[in-house]
Amino acid sequence: MFARKQNDQPRLVTLLEPPERSSLLGRSMAISILALIAVVTLGTNTHLFAPPLLALLLTAAVAAVLVSMRRASVGGRGQSVAQGFADRECAEAGVVGESLFVATPIPTLLVDCEFHEIVAANSAVANLYGFTLRDLRGLRISNLQQSTSGSSHGEDVVPVSGLVRHRRADGSLLWVELNVQKISHAGREVWLIVVVDVTARLQLVRGLEESERHYRELIDLSLGIVFTHDLNGSLTLVNPAFARALDLPVEAIVGRNLSEFVVPRQHDAFSQYLLNVGRNGTDSGAVHMLRRDGGELVWEFRNQIRTLADGSREVLCCAIDISERSRNEHRLLEKSRKDPLTGCYNRRHLAAFQADASPGACWASVVIDIDHLKRYNDTYGHRAGDQAIVRVARFLERIVRKDDSIVRLGGDEFVILLRQCDQATLESFAARLQGALATQETVPFSYGLAMRKNDEDLEQTIHRADRQMIERRVIERSSIRLDVPREPRRREARRSVIRIHPAVGAVEPAPAVPISLEAEG
């Protein structure tokens, strides 16, 4: 088994494994373990790995060192190995184990399973607990644990993996996460314990939990409307103000799509809103919401996309109810668009009418002009003339539809805007006007009407109706004068004029009033 060199030094020869290979395996083990130590150190300094994972890696590294030391000390069974080689392998493994304890930044210790005493610890343990390495050796593991009610200080406690409360040398407390593994070392059972200080992490988590609870209370107590939804519009959170506004319980809202609470006429705009917020990350504006009783609310909103911890995105929205403000603004707008004498719309309404109309809308306009209003003002006074104008306005209000509009263009002229009007509807309306003139239901007037053509502007439709009114008036007045005999130069004709009394309206014709033909309108 042995051969001698010229210097008579023994050369180790194994029957089963060449010594070069055995030495190579020992070195490979050492290099691998040191590499693992480097990974653990890097992970600790750069926070690449979670503390529990680092503890697991370090436990594996220490266990591997101890197993290597044990195998090196026992030697290969079934092999013929020189004692000097075994001692050398054991020494190498011991150097690796010592390097592991010194180099690792994670506190690691060995605790005797029988006596519960610390038999080995690295400097990281001393730094964490504030003890010297000499003080740590022989210290019972229970001395590091916080005493609980019903247990005496120093009572033996079997260490287990998990989160526990420990105490430093100065009495201060800390939270640690233990990774415990039972192994054999130097002929006895020991616990290999890797300690990770998670005090700062727990304080951060609890701080975040407290902050989240604080802000949730603010949201719940807020009078403003706060809610979140995903990029498809499904509601994930609503605060009580949201639920109170719609008169619904919170649990009946969360999980439903926001579009279910938006007025139907804004559903297309809501789809565009989702596209805008997904593309731009934010959006703002006003939305009309539906209450449980069918009432309508106006919310002014502002929102922003935020990314959650799991990588998903949601839209955080804040809104205020501006329904009352909107109604006030509408009233002011209506007031600015209303004629103070008659309560009908004024010219400002024309632009709003066309803006509100859908593309290709079919409307009609009817122009009304009170006959001889100037002469009536001159005869009976402007107050009586105003009463005549109001009387025509009240008559028109009785015969128009709900969605139609009566606009006083000024003086003695009105225009009626008929929404979604076809030819039959227009002819029926004209018949109603003609019947009122025949029965003297109101002050005499002339009228003209026109249907919209080829997507023309409203002003063009009104212009054509006005031209028809003028033509109709010329024809009617010309037919009245066909039997009047010719007279030289300036002549006078006598015509009975229907008088309009300020209180009772039309009365029997007065005596004939001379009318100069040149002065007639």
pLDDT in tens, 328-385: 988 888 888 899 999 999 999 998 898 888 778 899 999 999 998 988 888 889 899 9
* Cα–Cα distance for residue pair 270/303, rounded to 1 Å: 14
Could you count the other beta carbons within 10 Å of the beta carbon of residue 157? 16
- The token pair that represents 271 in the structure block: 């789809």
Asked if domains 224-326 and 339-481+491-505 share a fold, the reply is no
Predicted pLDDT of residue 519: 36
Output DSSP code: residue 510: P
Of 188, 187, 179, 144, nearest to 62 by C-alpha is 179
Architecture of domain 224-326: 2-Layer Sandwich (3.30)
C-beta of residue 230 within 8 angstroms of C-beta of residue 236: yes
Phi then psi for residue 396, to 5 deg, are: -65, -35
Please give the model's pTM, rounded to 2 decimal places. 0.49
CATH code of the domain occupying 339-481+491-505? 3.30.70.270
- H helix and E strand count, the chain: 14, 20
Tell me the residue length of the chain.
Answer: 521
- The token pair that represents 50 in the structure block: 């979670």
Contacts of 181 (CB under 8 A, 6+ apart): 59, 63, 191, 192
* Cα–Cα distance for residue pair 312/183, rounded to 1 Å: 44
**What's the fold here for domain 114-148+157-221?**
Beta-Lactamase (3.30.450)
- The token pair that represents 4 in the structure block: 């001698």
Question: What Å distances lie between residue 212 and 55, 207, 216, 348, CA to CA?
Answer: 30, 8, 6, 52
Of 91, 77, 78, 74, nearest to 23 by C-alpha is 91
C-beta of residue 117 within 8 angstroms of C-beta of residue 111: yes
- The token pair that represents 398 in the structure block: 């009785």
**H helical segments located in 222-367:** 240-246, 267-280, 323-336, 348-356
Kindly tell me the burial class for residue 267, based on how many C-beta atoms sit within 10 Å of its own C-beta (0-12, 13-18, 19 or more).
exposed
Contacts of 60 (CB under 8 A, 6+ apart): 36
Tell me the domain boundaries of the chain: 1-106, 114-148+157-221, 224-326, 339-481+491-505
Contacts of 202 (CB under 8 A, 6+ apart): 175
Could you count the other beta carbons within 10 Å of the beta carbon of residue 370? 21
3-state secondary structure of 43: helix
Beta strands in 352-507 (DSSP E): 364-370, 405-410, 413-418, 445-451, 492-495, 499-501, 505-507
C-beta of residue 192 within 8 angstroms of C-beta of residue 103: no
Strand partners, 451: 364
pLDDT one digit per residue (tens) for the chain, 521 residues:
334 444 443 333 332 334 444 454 455 555 555 555 555 555 555 555 565 666 666 666 656 655 555 555 554 444 444 455 445 555 555 555 556 556 678 899 899 999 999 998 998 999 999 999 889 988 998 889 876 555 555 567 788 999 999 999 999 999 999 999 998 887 889 999 999 999 999 988 888 888 888 888 888 888 899 999 999 999 999 999 999 999 999 999 999 999 999 999 999 999 999 999 999 999 999 999 999 999 999 999 999 999 988 899 999 999 999 999 988 988 888 888 899 999 999 999 998 898 888 778 899 999 999 998 988 888 889 899 999 999 999 999 999 999 899 999 989 999 999 998 999 999 999 999 999 988 888 899 999 999 999 889 999 999 999 999 999 888 887 765 444 455 554 444 444 444 544 544 544 444 444 433 333 33
Could you identify the residue written with the tokens 């719940």? 220
* Cα–Cα distance for residue pair 189/211, rounded to 1 Å: 46
- The token pair that represents 47 in the structure block: 């926070």
Phi then psi for residue 430, to 5 deg, are: -65, -35
Sign of CA dihedral 306, 307, 308, 309: negative
